Amino acid sequence: MSYMKIALNEAYEGIRNGEGGPFGAVIVKNGEVIGKGHNRVLADHDPTMHGEVAAIRNACRNIGSHSLKGCTLYTTAYPCPMCMSAALWAGIDRIVYGCTVTDTADIGFNDDNFYEAIKSGEAIPLECENRESCLELFKEYESLRAQRY
């Protein structure tokens, strides 16, 4: 079975159970599926539970690591900005997608406002507050020499 077929099966499971949109994903490393997931926004009441995020969380749990370097993400649609960011944070090397941004917008999942907000730098109003106290927190973290990721 192809990896995209597994992603499609994930997506079908999600839509047939009323869990969210038609978005499924699979993460593969060295020819082995290490994680999979589908959109669960409605089921979990969580706007971040997109198929790609679900697959990333599943893969990381399965391999016991926060790094997915060396992995390929197969997804039924071009990743939204959040999912693309999650893939970047996870260190995923390659993404293979099915439907395009236009295909996704055509069924009501239009991400144009996110792309415009990113380009303009005006996604949500930002305000800096209590910086000195937060810098103290950062100094303590640095002193602990904690593992960076």
CA angle at 146 for the pair 140 and 149, rounded to the nearest 5°: 120
User: Which residues does the annotation mark as catalytic?
Assistant: 52
Compute the distance between CA of residue 95 and CA of residue 120 in angstroms, rounded to an integer: 26
- Which two three-digit tokens encode residue 55? 């697959």
Compute the distance between CA of residue 4 and CA of residue 97 in angstroms, rounded to an integer: 8
pLDDT tens for the chain, residues 1 to 149:
799 999 999 999 999 999 999 999 999 999 999 999 999 999 999 999 999 999 999 999 999 999 999 999 999 999 999 999 999 999 999 999 999 999 999 999 988 888 888 888 777 777 889 999 999 999 999 999 887 77
pTM exceeds cut of 0.85: yes
